[in-house]
């Protein structure tokens, strides 16, 4: 098929699908050409301070664009557990805009990996769905062993749970790395990733997630 005909056919099929299944907001279910709809986007609460910087640690900074309660947390749950992947574009764009607003410069956008077992059962890594829409996406990390969910563990249990869970699989020497995830809470997972990346020669490592709270 010649490219023009293919474009026509692709856009015809997409319009036909829109007619049969009009696009809906994944959060409030009203008809909307964008996902989430403009109203739901407006109901998300921005984080008071987008980024917190640390000195002399493996993790240089930690940040999130929105606060978890409300629409932003709903977007995370809809993406992760209900496979509403049409939300990924808005979520990734929010991260990209916040990164340039606060002046984060990076060579590689690296998604926090999930273990292959979880990847198989869920079918995708939500962090990678977001990173794939950013410039310089790089799958630099591999989760080498499954870990328990961090929620409900004490600080020392969390550290033990995550120790040596990540392996660096590409050359990151001298690179500034922006870790990407849908949610950041205590930042322990990001710290373990940063530790592995620093040991492999990364120059700077930080995380910017779509939403989060309870930094420590």
SS3 66: strand
Rule CB under 5 A: choose which of 28, 132, 139, 144 binds Zn ion.
Answer: 28
Residues near Zn ion (CB under 5 A), total: 6
Stretch that binds Zn ion, among 26-34, 47-55, 109-117, 204-212 (CB under 5 A): 26-34
CB 33 to Zn ion: min, Å: 12
Q: Is 27 in the site for Zn ion (CB under 5 A)?
A: yes
Q: Is 25 in the site for Zn ion (CB under 5 A)?
A: yes
> Residue 70 — left, alpha, or beta (φ > 0 → left; ψ -120 to 50 → alpha)?
left
Whether 93 and 133 have beta carbons less than 8 Å apart is answered as: yes
Q: Cβ closer to Zn ion: 25 or 180? A: 25
CB 126 to Zn ion: min, Å: 19
How far is residue 11's CA from residue 28's CA, in Å, rounded to a whole number? 26
Site string for Zn ion, 39-58 (x = CB under 5 A): -x------------------
Pairing state of beta strands 176-184 and 204-212? parallel
Residue entry with tokens 């790395």? 177
SS3 166: strand
CB 147 to Zn ion: min, Å: 34
Q: Is 72 in the site for Zn ion (CB under 5 A)?
A: no
Tokens of 143: 């989760």
Q: Cβ closer to Zn ion: 28 or 139? A: 28
> Residue 83 — left, alpha, or beta (φ > 0 → left; ψ -120 to 50 → alpha)?
left
Bond before 9 cis per omega within 30 degrees: no
Stretch that binds Zn ion, among 11-19, 32-40, 102-110, 163-171 (CB under 5 A): 32-40
How far is residue 142's CA from residue 128's CA, in Å, rounded to a whole number? 12
Q: Cβ closer to Zn ion: 35 or 128? A: 35
Binding site for Zn ion (CB under 5 A): 25, 27-28, 36-37, 40
């Amino acid at each position: 098929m010649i490219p023009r005909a293919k474009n026509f056919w692709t856009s015809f099929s997409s319009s036909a699908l829109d007619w049969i299944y009009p696009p809906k907001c994944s959060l409030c279910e009203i008809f909307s050409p964008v996902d989430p709809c403009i109203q739901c986007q407006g109901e998300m609460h921005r984080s008071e301070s987008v980024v917190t910087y640390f000195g002399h640690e493996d993790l240089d900074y930690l940040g999130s664009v929105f606060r978890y309660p409300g629409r932003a947390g709903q977007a995370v749950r809809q993406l992760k557990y209900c496979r509403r992947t049409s939300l990924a574009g808005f979520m990734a764009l929010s991260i990209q805009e916040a990164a340039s607003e606060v002046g984060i410069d990076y060579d590689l956008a690296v998604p926090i990996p999930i273990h292959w077992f979880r990847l198989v059962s869920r079918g995708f890594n939500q962090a990678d769905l977001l990173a794939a829409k950013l410039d310089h996406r790089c799958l630099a990390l591999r989760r080498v062993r499954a870990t328990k969910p961090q929620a409900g563990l004490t600080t020392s249990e969390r550290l033990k749970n995550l120790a040596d869970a990540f392996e660096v699989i590409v050359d990151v020497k001298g690179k500034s790395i922006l870790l990407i995830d849908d949610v950041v809470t205590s930042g322990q997972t990001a710290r373990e990733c940063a530790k592995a990346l620093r040991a492999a020669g990364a120059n700077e490592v930080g995380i910017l997630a779509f939403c989060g709270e309870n930094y420590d």
